[in-house]
Amino acid sequence: MSARGSAAREVLQTLLVALILALAIRAFVVESFLVDGVSMEPTLHDGERLLVDKLSYRWHPPRRFDIVVFRYPQDPSRDFIKRVIALPGETVEIQEGKVYVDGRLLDEPYLESRGQDFYPPTTVPPGHVFVLGDNRPHSDDSRSGWTVPIREIIGRAVLVYWPPAEAGWIP
């Protein structure tokens, strides 16, 4: 084989390995996600691009206040992003916009406006989490009567990378 053919073969092998690695990373480690809508403002904004950590929940369950990307229970072809508020077995209720979990008021410093919502005491089923958007008046979330099966969580939002002016770690 000529030197030129050998070099071309090496380039093809390198590209193939790079493609396989990229696909494996996307499938199992980290994935990009586009924020679509205003339900997570002021924390996240419409049009921002995020990196979603897909590994963490292989070692531990979601934690309260994690911002997660999941398959929307009402239409699994769509992905949603919300904040975990209550965990399996916990009872959540909302009184005059204030969220209580197991009778304790949650401190939610990330909210700009609470609204005046009411939600009756509801126990989160095993294997599920209760999620809310940070922009409560403009969020389709667990107040609509659904919870998120943990198995349908794609991952935890960790980093805004676009636009560059908004880039940074997600609190």
CA dihedral sign of residues 107, 110, 111, 112:
positive
Q: Which residues on adjacent β-strands are paired with residue 144?
A: none
Residue 9, H or E segment = helix 3-28
Measured distance CA(100)–CA(93) in Å, rounded: 5
Query: Is the distance from CB of 143 to CB of 117 less than 8 angstroms?
Result: yes
Element (H, E) at 2: none
Q: Is 39 a catalytic residue?
A: yes
Catalytic residue among 39, 54, 139, 142: 39
* H helix or E strand, kind and range, residue 91: strand 91-95
Q: Which pair of tokens denotes residue 125?
A: 């089923």
Active site annotation includes 98: no
In the block, tokens 């700009």 appear at: 112
Lookup: tokens for 128: 């599920």
**Catalytic-labelled residue, pool 54, 82, 139, 142:** 82
The catalytic residues are: 39, 82
